[in-house]
Structure 1
Amino acid sequence: MPGVSYPSAAVAERVRRRLRLENTDPSAEPDEARRIAQLEVRRHNDLALQRGEAMIDDEAALVRDVLASVSGFGALQPLLDDPEIEEIWLNGPDRVFVAKGGATHRVDLQLTDALIRDLVERMLQTTGRRVDVSQPFVDASLPDGSRLHVAIADVVRGSWAVNIRKFLTRHRTIEALVAQGSVPSQVADLLLAGLRAGRSIIVSGATHAGKTTLLGALLSACAADQRIITVEETFELAVDGPDVVALQGRQASLEGTGEITLRRLVKEALRMRPDRLVVGEVRDAEALDLVLALNTGVPGAGTVHANSAAEALEKLALLPLLAGRNIDRSFIVPALASSISFVVHCRREADGSRRVVEVIAPTGEVADGRIVSTSVYRAEEVT
């Protein structure tokens, strides 16, 4: 809504003053905070009417904006602020869990279905994304970089299912990952040297194995010297550098128009003079566009869900076939073999820790339709 940012800031400041004067904690007393916000929004419109100034048509939206500003995300805010919590998920209003140190803990927190919906609306407010009956799933990035996933009740039995994978800055450097034992120092040196030399690297692993964290840390270490274009469905990599452009896909509108796919973003990224093209997660037909880019000499990087480094290569050879019947595996496999330098496999251990357990290097050769690779690193007791 045009012009909403200034009224929102002004009203939020008045709400903050009233909350302080009345000694009201918006997290502990959300209903009272909402009442105050509604009064101040109406007061703003009354004054605007008297002065002949522009009024706010959508008062409810401004109330949500103000509440998000003054109280964050309500009962979940302490969990979001806790630097030890890696992920938060809600299976319902009275089933709230967190992951801390790789272990799962249930939180003694009682919400309501209405409060969960209100919290989700606040989280989505600045993202331009929505969740409703026509779009029952949503992925979005919160302001701090954390990833939000929501599934609503018509596809989930009972209440909404909400996951928040947090952005933990202490894990975002390669030095930190080496220090905590996630990446052996010799592997970090090898991968950094490869990236700086323009090699293409794939990071593989299961869900929550630390793929995105590792890739983001490696890219950030090289971002001072390279123009990096990242392509993601939802911003997660958080690569910091002077010449980094982050692109994000877009869902279709209610009319079914306006969708921006990863395939489209990869093609657009190639027109932006990248020193390195990064696909945050390769899982569909965008694999073809990535392979074509790599085959034309553009260094790349990305993550793939797989059970081993070798399986990641095989998956990258199969995914391009989803682009259409005219795609031939006999072209894809040699193209991958000649363009990928390293595949790094991550694993989440039983104690919750994440570590690199395997690195392979394709030789450029193909035997019996499969890419030939050599083992560069292998941790002990890899299963």
Structure 2
Amino acid sequence: MSHPSVVVAERVRRRLRLENTDPSTAPEEARRIAQAEVRRHNDLALARGEVFIDDEPALVRDVLASVSGFGPLQPLLDDPDIEEIIINAPDRIFVIRDGEKIRLDLRLTEVIVRDLVERMLHATGRRVDISQPFVDASLPDGSRLHVAIADVVRGSWAVNIRKFLPQHRTLDTLVAAGSMPPDVGRMLRAAVSDGRSIIVSGATHAGKTTLLGALLATCAHEQRIITVEETFELAVEGPDVVALQGRQASLEGNGEITLRRLVKEALRMRPERLVVGEVRDAEALDLVLALNTGVPAAGTVHANSASEALDKLCLLPLLAGRNIDRAFIAPALAASVSLVVHVVRDADGRRRVAEILAPTGEVSDGRILTRRVYRAEGVA
């Protein structure tokens, strides 16, 4: 922020404390105080020949963002076209807009970056420090925050804020955006409505979570959905939706809640659809066991193709222990997974469904046999 913003923001904070006003619960009163302090600043500046701020409304917005939001990052968080905010250093800040990475002419300080991170983590119950140098957390608007600090990172803290844009949270909007043809959207909608289990695969930032959220939105008003995630990302809204989130261990090493534990607890909550936000470890075994009992499920997997996603789901349960046999896992998956939807991110940043495979229910030489349901044009 500019120097006048810093000065006025400090005055506003002082008045908010004196008048016992919380900007999060009394935004109009906070705005009134900010406007009054901005006018006071300009009056004093005019009398003393100091820097005068012509754009008072802009200064009010900066001050309010500082005292009640996330400071200079708040306008970026509020921008509906920005998908992600990346801070590599206080003077190296990027945003992803329409799939394109853009460097901003924005300079912060180490102190401001750390203060912003602390404010973001304040209400999450999560921490980042030398003993826990990485953290994942959800911001109030549903955005995902990831932070890595020194000395794991050389130099400054590394901060990523991945936003989940509301305009891409339904199948209809994804179809309109060109992510899939209309007939594919109708097929996926019917599959979810019929209670089929669907796995969404793809690389990082390919749009897996966005597509999964859009699929769940089609059934959220009809089915009881239990979601299981390490960090809340799926913004699923419905009358019978329960979202579960894992928990880090305390400083004493106690109290950790793993995805495996959450999957087991979710099965005791009578789900009509069990959702694992991202399957990447031994929780794959518990998901397979749930599928084998007839519970419809959904989830995402990092993979380079739909067939590789199935192979990975056959291997991940082996991480649960030596007594797990792939000869059981592969047939169980083949019989319970209905569709694997693979998404890609093109060079121009556009995300789309590349292929859809349907397991046939048969296994050959330990691999699940599939048939191709859909393949996008131009996909190798």
TM range (shorter): 0.7 to 0.9
Matches within 5 A, 1:187-202: 187-202=184-199
Cross-structure match for 2:9: none
> Which residues of 2 match residues 225-304 of structure 1 at below 5 A?
225-304=222-301
Task: Specify the SS of the correspondent of 1:364.
Answer: strand
Structure 2 equivalent of residue 95 of structure 1: 92
CA apart distance, 1:70: 3.5
Given the two structures, how large is their TM-score scaled by the length of structure 2? 0.86
- Cα distance between partner residues in 2 of 1:361 and 1:15: 55
Is it true that 1:175 corresponds to 2:175 in the alignment? no
**CA 1:24–1:361: 2 relative to 1, 3 Å:** farther
Distance 1:69 1:266 in 2: 39
CA RMSD of aligned residues (A): 2.1
Q: 1:125 to 1:186 in 2, by over 3 A?
A: same
Q: Is 2:66–2:72's contact at 8 Å kept on the other side of the alignment? A: no
Q: Distance in 2 between matches of 1:181 and 1:11?
A: 43
Distance 2:22 2:313 in 1: 51
In the alignment, is the contact (CA less than 8 A) between 2:34 and 2:64 conserved in 1? no
Between Structure 1 and Structure 2, how many residues are aligned?
339
Q: Deviations over 1:51-110 (max 9, x none)?
A: xxxxxxxxxxxxxxx987843111111111111111000000000000001010000001
Counterpart-to-counterpart distance in 2, 1:15 and 1:84: 27
CA contact (8 A) 2:340 2:356 kept: yes
Deviations 1:288-338 (A, max 9, x none): 000000001100000000000000000000000000101000000000000
SS of corresponding position for 1:175: helix
In structure 2, relative to structure 1, the CA distance for the partners of 1:101 and 1:135 (3 Å cut) is: same
Contact 1:348 1:354 in 2 (8 A): yes
- What CA distance in whole angstroms lies between the structure 1 residues aligned with 2:223 and 2:332? 24
Following the alignment from structure 2 to structure 1, what is the Cα–Cα distance between the partners of residues 19 and 313? Answer: 47
- Correspondence for 1:330: 327
Task: Find the counterpart in structure 2 of residue 377 from structure 1.
Answer: 374
Q: Quote the offset at 1:16 in angstroms.
A: 5.1
| One-letter identity of the residue aligned with 1:23 | V
Aligned position for 2:44: none
Q: CA deviation at 1:10?
A: 3.0
Is 2:21 the partner of 1:10?
A: yes
Q: Report if the CA contact (8 A) 1:337-1:363 is conserved.
A: yes
Q: Counterpart of 2:303?
A: 306
What is the TM-score with the length of structure 1 in the denominator?
A: 0.85
Shift of 1:11: 4.6
The separation in 1 between residues aligned to 2:93 and 2:172, in whole angstroms, is 33
State the distance in 2 between where 1:68 and 1:236 align: 24
Report 1:55-94 matches (<5 A): 70-94=67-91
Equivalent pair of 2:31/2:64 in contact (CA under 8 Å): no
Shift of 1:17: 4.6
Q: What is the distance in 1 between the residues matched to 2:292 and 2:145?
A: 34
Q: Which residue of 2 aligns with 1:212?
A: 209
Q: Deviations over 1:333-377 (max 9, x none)?
A: 000000000000000001000000100000000011100000000
CA distance in 1, matches of 2:18, 2:224: 38
> By how many angstroms is 1:213 displaced?
0.3
Aligned to 1:22: 37
- Kindly indicate whether the alpha-carbon contact (under 8 Å) linking 1:202 and 1:304 is maintained by their aligned counterparts in 2: yes
For residues 318 and 280 of structure 2, what CA distance do their matches in structure 1 show? Answer: 12
- Corresponding letter in the other structure for 1:157: R
Structure 1 residue 19, shift from structure 2 partner:
2.7
Match of 1:106 in 2: 103
Q: 1:341 aligns to what SS in structure 2?
A: strand
Distance in 1 between the 2:79 and 2:34 partners? 24
Out of 356, 363, 368, the residue aligned to residue 366 of structure 1 is 363
Percent same amino acid at aligned positions? 75
| 1:20 to partner: Cα distance | 2.5
Whole-angstrom distance in 2 between the partners of 1:183 and 1:124: 36
Q: Secondary structure of 2:247's match?
A: coil
2:112 matched residue in structure 1: 115
